[in-house]
Chains A and B, each alone.
Chain A
Amino acid sequence: MSEFKVRTMAEMTAVGEVPEVLFWVGCAGSFDDRAKKITKAFAKILHLSGVKFAVLGTEEGCTGDPAKRSGNEFLFQMQAMMNIQVLNGYEVKKIVTTCPHCFNTLKNEYPELGGNYEVVHHTQFINSLLNDGKLSVSGGSFKGKKITFHDPCYLGRANGVYEAPREIIQKLDIQLTELRRCKSNALCCGAGGAQMFKEAEKGNKEINIERTEEALEIKPDVIAAGCPFCNTMMTDGVKNFEKEGEVQVLDIAEMVAQAADL
């Protein structure tokens, strides 16, 4: 990120500044090579839109989502309380995150443990930047391309956010082709509930293959995603069918960054 410096909460607080929003990067966004591209794209969008944002940097730790979904409530609450101490210490009010799992956990499960913040998913945040005119995009780069969107479970069914990513897609001048199973009927990519971190149980197919097959049926140029884990699963699926030359798996943030010529 040579264009600008990403500042941490510690750095901002040291000089008495308060960010508009805290960008919660998440573990995938921090460490996974594919997800880091999404992180960078979103950071660029924030910078371009003139949003004063900060990250926790090395003070951020796993929200505890994979621990909670796999039944390790102890570990979850340990993580949650450590994070809440940090967040409350900085008097954080608003959080945006590119990961629906972090989004869900911070939004729904931290309040009971003393962490009360306004939490939004990056698709909601980008959508309001577009609505407020702080960011403008031209749809040129996606003209004539067939694009579909895979709903992340923890954004859609878990929190009822279906429209924000679709509205962004519309603003990119894209005719969205919906998957057969979409919105509340969407099929999981197979990564949720800590499945990302283990082999699947015995069956006759991998879930991401089933979902990718469904997406490939409509012969898209781009499969849009809103979750780093879905992104990995769908990317692996596309590779499995040896379609990586024809079909791209892109996060909504990456598409916006591309359209805004970032």
Chain B
Amino acid sequence: MISSLVFFVLLAITSVAFYIRVKTITSNINLGRDVEISDNPSLRWKTMARVALGQSKMVTRPVAGFMHILIYLGFIIINLEILEIILDGLFGTHRIFSEFLGGLYKPFINSFEVLALGVLVACVVFLARRNVLKLKRFWSKEMTSWPKSDANIILIVEILLMTAFLTMNAADSILLNTPPLELGRFSLEHYTGVDMNNSGFVVSQLIVPLLPSDFTSLAFIERACWWFHIVGIFAFLNYVPYSKHFHIFLAFPNTYYSNLKNKGQFNSLEAVTKEVQLMMDPSADPYVNPPEGETTEVPKFGAKDVQDLTWKQLMDAYSCTECGRCTSVCPANQTGKLLSPRKIMMDTRDRLEEFGKGLDANGRDYKDGKSLLGSYISKEEVWACTTCNACTDACPVNIDPLSIIIDLRQHLVMEESAAPAELNNMFSNVENNGAPWQFAQADRLNWANED
């Protein structure tokens, strides 16, 4: 009874804390510009099914892809077991699903154990790739101490959780295989009701020989692991939204709202179209008053700070799990330039978190004198991009760092006139003679008269 109450309180705290954090993230994402993304829902669902649910882009790198699928499957399916644990916790029952599943219960738990072992192995391999093999993409410049430890914490916690789960099952299997009469002498008769066929569970039986033989100790180990496991999961749930690991939730909406256009098609700025049309229309009167109700506010071009980006670009930032596949294929990064698409996403998220906190503390008109461009991302990074789309192609959850880079460039060029001098030359050539180089328009067809 007391344990049910304690469990209920813990569950309530977990849920409320998680809810509050998710609300903060949602309102941060909504600081972005509004943009309508509702076309082609069937293709959107398919993209989500293929890329997020089906992990199609993960497996382009087979080793990491396979290990990730182990963890992913384990994570999703073992959640069914967590449902049982929560019900047991609330109602003081023991392995409540065994009542409904009968003879199927043991195979049900066995399958979880296999998955748990898979998760365990994958986490160990991942830890080794990061800390022993030191794969380049986990050690680049933007992987400072927090991003590195964030990844390690998650992997270690997952290993601990899986170990607790398996140890719990091992201790329990001994008790479940003991006749209730015998257990009754220790008031442990509730360890019953599972059809065990006098053997252990498929994986955790390997742990059985390591355990003590007296029933009181076994019951203590079982309970301790049970509580450690579930409290660990509660803690994990509230760690995730503060960490890069939030991709486990956002991968789904983020792929749903993927860019479905050809990657080469960059967004068109409507505000610019209006002005250009006005410029090209010989009958337009530039001094005419705008029609009633229309604002005369000068539109802003491009992005300087996070609130100039769209909500989708901000969702991208929270979806990034810092795997670094984008950076590892970026031509600028591979040749030693400062640009790293992963850093663009990490900076966007860090700046958004900082700005969101400032707004919460100081009200809606808060300004802190900082901005994404300048305080986080330098011009040098922005200008190093070749717009080759390798980063967007590599991202396993369809994040688009390139669109942010272009928005920052638009701000530099159209708001600050701060393009590199050579690009300004190119602009004036295009403007004056219709080509990026200084050749006369009249010479365009000269090639046709040459041999």
Contact = CB atoms under 8 A, between A and B. Distances in A.
A254 to B, nearest CB: 14
B332 interface: yes
A43 interface: yes
Interface residues of B, number: 69
A160 B445 CA distance: 31
Given A1-B447, A75-B431, 7 more contacts: A25-B444, A70-B423, A71-B409, A72-B414, A79-B430, A192-B387, A205-B335
6 contacts: A27-B436, A60-B444, A193-B388, A198-B426, A203-B336, A203-B384
Interface in B394-451: 406, 408-414, 419-420, 422-423, 425-427, 430-431, 434-437, 439, 441-451
B218 to A, nearest CB: 54
B67 to A, nearest CB: 21
Nearest to B275: A74
B435 A30 contact: yes
A43 B449 CA distance: 12
Interface in A39-98: 39-40, 43, 55, 57-58, 60-62, 64, 66-75, 77-79, 81-82
Given A58-B444, A109-B265, A210 B335 contact: yes
B437 A27 contact: yes
Contact of A31 (B339, B389, B410, B435): B435
Contacts of B275: 74
Contacts of A218: none
Contacts of B384: 200-201, 203
A153 B389 contact: yes
B435 A61 contact: yes
Nearest to A184: B393
B295 interface: no
Given A67-B427, A104-B264, A201-B332, A73 B301 contact: yes
B430 A75 contact: yes
A58 B268 contact: no
Contacts of B276: 74, 77-78, 81
A75 to B, nearest CB: 6
B414 A73 contact: yes
B387 A57 contact: no
Contacts of A8: 445
Nearest to A112: B268
A199 B380 CA distance: 12
Interface of B: 261-266, 268-269, 272-273, 275-277, 279-280, 301-302, 329, 331-332, 334-339, 380, 383-390, 393, 406, 408-414, 419-420, 422-423, 425-427, 430-431, 434-437, 439, 441-451
A154 B263 CA distance: 9
Contact of A158 (B264, B279, B426): B264
Nearest to B380: A201
B439 A31 contact: yes
A154 B335 CA distance: 20
Interface in A193-216: 193-207, 209-211
Nearest to A61: B434
A159 B264 contact: yes
A200 B450 CA distance: 33
A32 B276 CA distance: 30
A73 B415 CA distance: 11
Contacts, number: 221
Nearest to A204: B336
A193 B264 CA distance: 11
A69 B387 contact: yes
Nearest to A71: B409
Contacts of B272: 73-74, 77
Contacts of B389: 153, 157-158
Contacts of B409: 70-71
A193 to B, nearest CB: 3
A185 B326 CA distance: 11
A153 B335 contact: no
A157 B444 contact: no
B406 A71 contact: yes
A99 B278 CA distance: 31
Contact of B451 (A2, A82, A109, A207): A2
Contact of A206 (B262, B335, B385): B335
A69 B412 CA distance: 13
B339 to A, nearest CB: 7
Given A31-B437, A61-B434, A55 B445 contact: yes
Contacts of A201: 332, 337-339, 380, 383-384
Interface in A1-27: 1-2, 5-6, 8, 25, 27
Given A58-B444, A81-B277, A202-B337, A157 B430 contact: no
A259 interface: no
Contact of A57 (B332, B337, B444): B444
Contacts of B434: 27, 60-62, 79
Nearest to A157: B389
A197 to B, nearest CB: 4
A61 B386 CA distance: 23
Contact of B448 (A6, A187, A190, A204): A6
Contact of A39 (B261, B411, B439, B447): B447
